[in-house]
Structure formats: C-alpha cells, structure tokens
C-alpha cells in the first residue's frame, strides 16, 4: 500500500492485547473498522507495547497478542488488502514515541483522564509507561499518516492529544504529519458495564459478569444479560440517569439489530424486562456466534495467523521507516 499514490483515505486503529475483546470493543470499534475497510486503505494493529503498562506473565501477553490478532482476522478484515500487524514487530513506533515525548508537555499528558483512572486502579504500579501511553498512541497514528481513526468514546481525548502533537510538530518543521480525525460511531461508542452501568464495559474488569467477551458461549452471554443491572420500573424506554442499565441494553440491542429506540420501545410496550433481556441475548448471540466460530477456526491454524502477522509487519515497517527517516532528519539527527 503506497500512501501517496492513492486518493483513498488511510484509516488506522489498534486494540490493546490486554484480554479477550468485549462486546464494547466490537460495537464501539471493530464493527466500524469492518465497514470502513471496504473503501479505505486500512491499518489495524494489536497494541502489545501498550499492554506492557499493566504487569502480566510473559506467556499470557504472548498468547493474548496472537489471539487478538486472530480475532481481527475473524472479523473479516482482509490481511492482503489491509495491513494487520503486531505493534512490537515494528520497532519504529517506539523510536517515534521517544521523539514525540520531547514535543509533549508534562501538563498535557497529566490531564489524560485514562491515566488518572488507571493510576488510581493500579496504585501499586503507576509506571512511566502508563503516563506516556498516549504519546505512543500518537506515534502509532502519526507514523502512518492516518487520516481517520475509528475509536470508541474513551479514546477521544487521546486522539485530541495526537492532533495537538502533530500540529505542534508541523508548526516547527513543516508538513511532516497528517493531523488525524477521530471517527466515533453515532451509536455504540460507549457500551457500559452490565453490573455498574456508570462505568464503561472493559475487558480488564475483575468482575466477569460486567462484560460480554467475544469468546463467551451462548449460554454465558444469556446469563450475563439476564443478570444485568436495571431498575424497578419494569418499562422498556430510553430514559435519563435512572435508566442507565436499560439505556445500555437498548443501545446494545439497537447496534445488533439496526433498530432505532422508538421501534424497540414499540416492540416491548407492555412487556417486562424478562422478555426484553431474552431478546437482547438472542440479538447478541446472533451477532457474536458466527464471529466466535470463525475465530476458533482461524486460531487453530497458527501457521496461517503467524504468516499473516509477519507479512503485515513487513508492509507496516516499510511505511513506518519512511516517516521516521523524515522525522529524524527534521529534528537534526546526524545523517550519513
């Protein structure tokens, strides 16, 4: 894929290798990736460097990385047409991140709400990587001159930082980076925890009942939805703060069926939460079951998965090296 010889947009997004992806990742990001892949030049990555900010066993990180890669293939993203790779296989990201660290103000990084949340949650390991995490993310994006970055709501602030860094750098050195636009879907950008619907659904939540994992069997999906927190009103409609749990289930149902909220309210008029939750479970299963089957099929062929990852990294590295060479020259590193 040669960026300068095509007028297609470059779309880029990554997912962290920090656990099995959830319905939140799927509805907030993966579904949009799949749709955008049809008409753009796409680059998708498994962010294993980012995953190192939280301590884990080396064997677990290795397994989660290749499993996440297989999941991206299972989504139907074509490794021939798109560039799909593991972040740590293209070491240029880490070098650019260092350069960008020097063009990011401490105060800017300190404002990131995800840093504040994560350092509160992992008080025993507030490492510097957690702090500079959004700068590495900016490097991921800027090194490929991405035009559009499809993400969920929680990544909006990081995207804003990437834009600021790009503009600052370009302001000093000329037109080096493309200033990326976030792409946040109208619906599904913030799928909430099934147990605490004031928090986002997260794959690293210690309470497994709070999220639906894309590898959960059908009966587990149904059980988790059945035990989702709702309210005592027993009427299905999209309401305010007091209806957070139902609003979240309605959003999930809308994303899986393509229905709007008015149609959902009409479908469940006069019915209770039991009927509604059963329908939500069926809709989620219909969406996820084929993906899970495909994932299991692809993961069983490890040689294929590894071959795709290797080819993807080679294509990515070619592009990354080009940008990095330009950056190194611009900032004044001695060239021979």
Smallest gap from residue 28 Cβ to ligand TYM (A): 2
The answer to the question of residue 52 lying near ligand TYM (CB under 6 A) is: no
Quick check: 189 binds ligand TYM (CB under 6 A)? yes
Is 200 considered catalytic here? Answer: yes
Please report whether residue 282 would count as binding ligand TYM according to CB under 6 A: no
Alpha carbons 183 and 11: distance in angstroms, whole number: 9
For ligand TYM, the closer CB: 29 or 100: 29
> Which of the residues 31, 118, 145, 148 is marked catalytic?
118
Which of the stretches 10-18, 96-104, 230-238, 243-251 binds ligand TYM when contact is defined by CB under 6 A? 10-18
Q: Is 163 in the site for ligand TYM (CB under 6 A)?
A: no
Among 163, 200, 224, 243, binds ligand TYM (CB under 6 A): 200
Q: Minimal distance in Å, beta carbon 251 to ligand TYM?
A: 9
Residue from 47, 71, 112, 283 that binds ligand TYM (CB under 6 A)?
A: 47
Can residue 185 be called a binding residue for ligand TYM (CB under 6 A)?
A: no
16 binds ligand TYM (CB under 6 A): yes
Catalytic residue (one of 203, 224, 243, 277):
203
Q: Which stretch binds ligand TYM (CB under 6 A): 23-31, 119-127, 220-228, 305-313?
A: 23-31
User: Mask: binding to ligand TYM, 112-141, rule CB under 6 A, as x and -?
Assistant: -------------------------x--xx
Cα-based angle 122, 208, 25 (whole degrees, multiple of 5): 80
Residues of the shown chain interacting with ligand TYM in the complex, contacts defined by CB under 6 A: 12-16, 24-25, 28-29, 47, 50, 137, 140-141, 149, 151-152, 154-155, 189-191, 200-201
């Amino acid at each position: 894929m040669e960026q300068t010889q095509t007028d297609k947009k470059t779309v880029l997004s990554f997912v962290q290798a920090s656990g099995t992806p959830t319905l939140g990742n799927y509805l907030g990001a993966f579904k949009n990736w799949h749709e955008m892949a049809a008409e753009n030049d796409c680059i998708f990555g498994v962010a294993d460097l980012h995953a190192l900010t939280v301590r884990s066993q080396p064997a677990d990180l290795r397994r989660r990385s290749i499993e996440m890669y297989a999941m991206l293939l299972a989504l139907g993203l074509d490794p021939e047409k798109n560039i799909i790779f593991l972040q740590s296989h293209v070491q240029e990201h880490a070098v650019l991140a260092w350069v960008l660290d020097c063009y990011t103000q401490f105060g800017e990084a300190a404002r990131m709400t995800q840093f504040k949340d994560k350092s509160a949650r992992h008080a025993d390991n507030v490492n510097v990587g957690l702090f500079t995490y959004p700068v590495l993310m900016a490097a991921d994006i800027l090194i490929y001159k991405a035009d559009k970055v499809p993400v969920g709501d929680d990544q909006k602030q990081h995207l804003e930082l990437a834009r600021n860094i790009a503009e600052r750098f370009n302001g000093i050195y000329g037109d080096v980076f493309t200033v990326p636009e976030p792409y946040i879907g109208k619906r599904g950008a913030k799928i909430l925890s099934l147990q605490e619907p004031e928090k986002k659904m997260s794959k690293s939540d210690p309470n497994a009942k709070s999220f639906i994992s894309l590898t959960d069997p059908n009966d587990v999906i149904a059980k988790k939805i059945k035990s989702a927190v709702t309210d005592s009103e027993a009427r299905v409609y999209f309401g305010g703060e007091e209806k957070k749990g139902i609003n979240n289930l309605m959003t999930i149902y809308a994303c899986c069926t393509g229905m709007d909220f008015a149609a959902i309210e009409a479908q469940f008029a006069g019915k209770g939460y039991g009927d509604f939750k059963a329908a939500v479970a069926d809709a989620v299963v219909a969406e996820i079951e084929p993906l899970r089957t495909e994932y299991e099929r692809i993961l069983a062929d490890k040689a294929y998965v590894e071959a795709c990852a290797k080819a993807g990294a080679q294509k990515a590295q070619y592009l990354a090296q080009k940008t990095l060479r330009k950056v190194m020259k611009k900032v004044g590193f001695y060239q021979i």
